[in-house]
């Protein structure tokens, strides 16, 4: 089974000594080992990952929000955990972002990732935005939005709160980043398996494995390890 990760934050990191490691890596290994699946990990930016999942080029993407559109091409097993999306900005260039209206009233663009889902409230507000409101820049990966922020091209970007907190003590580019009070979205995320490449029998084994691990508290142990329990 081919599993997609991105070398970014505490969810999944790749280095010569440890190989792939991180919270989502722990989740994937726990579930796939329990289900008796062989697997390999590949590095793919978020912007391409869901299209590849839909095409059956990869089998599993972790930490995916379930939407009606995505259920057309993916099986959702879980939930895996809760995700909180916030607005991150440069501490040396602060903006008042306490509400969704504030987010859509910024004088500088905001970066969002291609293919990401930021909740129903944001999606509906985005679809009704006016020409003089905040412009949003679609970026293919996390490094691009960091570069844009560093060079003053954007006011900030939308990101999972857990990633920012972790990176603020582990990555120099995050040490000057501040989180705005606004919570853009909070929702469960799931293991997403490709309907093109994962058989009904495999899915049955995966769901059974998930239920066993959930019952024994294995997933809670992983969350506790990363201080998300």
User: Which domains are assigned to the chain?
Assistant: 2-82+188-226 (3.40.190.10), 83-186 (3.40.190.10)
Give every CB contact of residue 40 below 8 A, 6+ residues apart in sequence. Answer: 1, 2, 3
pLDDT tens for the chain, 229 residues: list them.
Answer: 999 999 877 789 898 888 999 999 999 999 999 999 999 999 998 889 999 999 999 999 999 999 999 999 999 999 999 999 999 999 999 999 999 999 999 999 999 998 899 999 999 999 999 888 999 999 988 888 888 998 999 999 999 998 888 777 766 666 688 999 999 999 999 999 999 999 999 999 999 999 999 999 999 999 999 888 6
Q: What's the CA gap between 39 and 56, in Å, rounded?
A: 15
Q: Are 179 and 164 in contact (CB under 8 A)?
A: yes
Instruction: State pTM to two decimals.
Output: 0.88
């Amino acid at each position: 089974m081919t599993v997609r990760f991105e070398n970014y934050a505490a969810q999944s990191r790749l280095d010569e000594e440890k190989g792939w490691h991180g919270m989502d890596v722990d989740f994937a290994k726990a579930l796939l080992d329990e289900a008796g699946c062989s697997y390999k990990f590949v590095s793919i930016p978020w912007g391409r990952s869901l299209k590849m999942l839909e095409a059956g080029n990869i089998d599993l993407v972790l930490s995916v929000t379930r939407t009606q559109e995505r259920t057309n091409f993916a099986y959702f097993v879980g939930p895996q955990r809760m995700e909180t999306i916030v607005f991150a900005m440069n501490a040396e260039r602060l903006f008042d972002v306490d509400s969704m209206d504030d987010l859509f009233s910024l004088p500088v663009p905001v970066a969002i990732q291609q293919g990401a889902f930021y909740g129903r409230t944001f999606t509906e507000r985005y679809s009704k935005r006016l020409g003089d409101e905040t412009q949003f820049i679609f970026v293919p990966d996390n490094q691009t939005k960091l570069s844009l922020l560093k060079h003053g091209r954007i006011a900030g970007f939308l990101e999972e709160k857990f990633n920012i907190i972790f990176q603020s003590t582990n990555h120099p580019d995050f040490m000057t980043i501040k989180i705005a009070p606004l919570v853009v979205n909070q929702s469960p995320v799931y293991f997403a398996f490709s309907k093109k490449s994962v058989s009904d029998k495999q899915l049955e084994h995966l769901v059974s494995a998930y239920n066993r691990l959930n019952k024994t508290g294995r997933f809670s142990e992983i969350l506790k390890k990363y201080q998300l329990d």
